[in-house]
Chains A and B, each alone.
Chain A
């Protein structure tokens, strides 16, 4: 059994893939808990999809995907802000319209004859293609997210727990909502190369949701989410190796599996206990 678990990581490709998912897990897990507590799951889904045009343009231009992802997130933020200015649309409708437009534009660009055959890589990630440089970039971004979450912990908690009294306690909720969205954007940019535009959201949300199923203490939930994301990442890679399926998709499904297993074990945060 132990060999079945360790054999996949004998080679350099899989070792780097494992290092990448473990690094991403440290940021995605705890951030996911905050995203769920702030009820911003839709924003997480939207941000990752909306960056597709940026990724495709980077692929067309031969530029680093990280740069394309950052540009894509920025464009998405501007598009959402512009759509939100139309008073006839609700906030969610504005986001939905902007995201659908950007994802459609990304798909249109990706289907042009000049695009290299990397659309699948953009949508579903390429964990096995991770380089040493990618690992360094991922570690820097994940480290920055972790430091920010640690420093901002109390303000983030105040802003979501007690929005009305938060200013008198030292936190402005509108500011900290934006900070959380900015951290979500950075995390999405960091994770999209390995996990892909369509799958990254699973690694952010599913371990966080599982952790909130299993504990009623926030610090425990944050640590547990990182551990569960790492577990899902490792299990996904093992499954990918043995069953010869796509690594990013395996990791995403393993994260969802972790959530499904956690569900019957109790929902101590529900209002009925």
Chain B
């Protein structure tokens, strides 16, 4: 995928993200780092083609799959975990046809892949936060798109879920997919292949070792950044308004 001079916003004349340019090869995990309100969600919406105002070029083979944060879903909706995974096959299934046997089998395989083979019949809203996040990732796997956008998939999930999710990320990379992962975890980003830093504009793009310097992180997070151990580690602190 290639992005060149991307800018956009939610109303004419009010661009909230500018100057985004990067290219990612197949089989890449890229972290998208930035503060709350820094443009991570806007970048994803632009890549999904959902931003009301957009400039620049985006080259994609097909529309990306998107994994939202689990608390953005309706937990009281009467569906099972497997029902949610099968939503990944809706776009390719005509309205008057049943979900194909092949897609049902693929859906069960995707659930197994995220370690939830025995939870397919459970109500989605009754699963733990980490399990729900894994179900949403299984749904993206079933979509079979070359590019997957994930909005803070490791935020607030239990350790077992986080480990399984990272394993799935590695598998998807090995299959040649491109993963763009919005995150606040700088140390996590160091383990991946590329980093895009945004804060209203693109601050930096490149390999983690080149990009994740204290200077870049300060420009990305400003006052939200806490530098530890004499600059060897940096932690982005989320500020929430209550």
Residues in chain A within 8 A of chain B (CB atoms): 37, 151-155, 157-158, 160-165, 167-171, 212, 215-218, 221, 268-271, 273
Contact = CB atoms under 8 A, between A and B. Distances in A.
B72 A158 contact: no
B79 A161 contact: yes
Interface stretch (B60-68, B169-177, B182-190, B196-204): B60-68
A169 B77 contact: no
A209 B112 CA distance: 34
A152 B63 CA distance: 22
A43 B126 CA distance: 29
Given A165-B66, A168-B66, A169-B91, A160 B143 contact: no
B90 A168 contact: no
B123 interface: yes
A128 to B, nearest CB: 37
B73 interface: yes
A218 B78 contact: yes
A162 B68 contact: yes
A160 B77 contact: yes
A208 to B, nearest CB: 12
Contact of A154 (B49, B63, B66, B95): B95
B8 to A, nearest CB: 15
A151 B143 CA distance: 21
Contacts of B74: 37, 160-162
Contacts of A170: 90-91
A167 B72 contact: no
Contacts of B146: none
A170 B99 CA distance: 14
B90 A169 contact: yes
Contacts of B79: 157, 161, 217-218
Contact of A216 (B49, B84, B123): B123
Contacts of A151: 95-96
Interface string B74-110: 1111111001100110110101100000000000000
Given A154-B93, A161-B77, 18 more contacts: A151-B96, A152-B95, A153-B95, A158-B87, A161-B84, A165-B72, A165-B136, A167-B48, A168-B48, A168-B65, A170-B90, A170-B91, A216-B78, A216-B123, A269-B78, A271-B75, A271-B125, A273-B126
B210 interface: no
A221 to B, nearest CB: 6
Contacts of A270: 76
A40 to B, nearest CB: 14
A169 B140 CA distance: 9
B78 A163 contact: no
B50 interface: yes
B78 A212 contact: yes
Contacts of B76: 269-271
16 contacts: A154-B87, A154-B90, A154-B93, A158-B87, A161-B74, A161-B79, A162-B68, A162-B74, A165-B136, A168-B48, A169-B88, A169-B143, A268-B123, A269-B78, A271-B75, A271-B76
A226 to B, nearest CB: 16
A271 B123 CA distance: 11
A151 B98 CA distance: 11
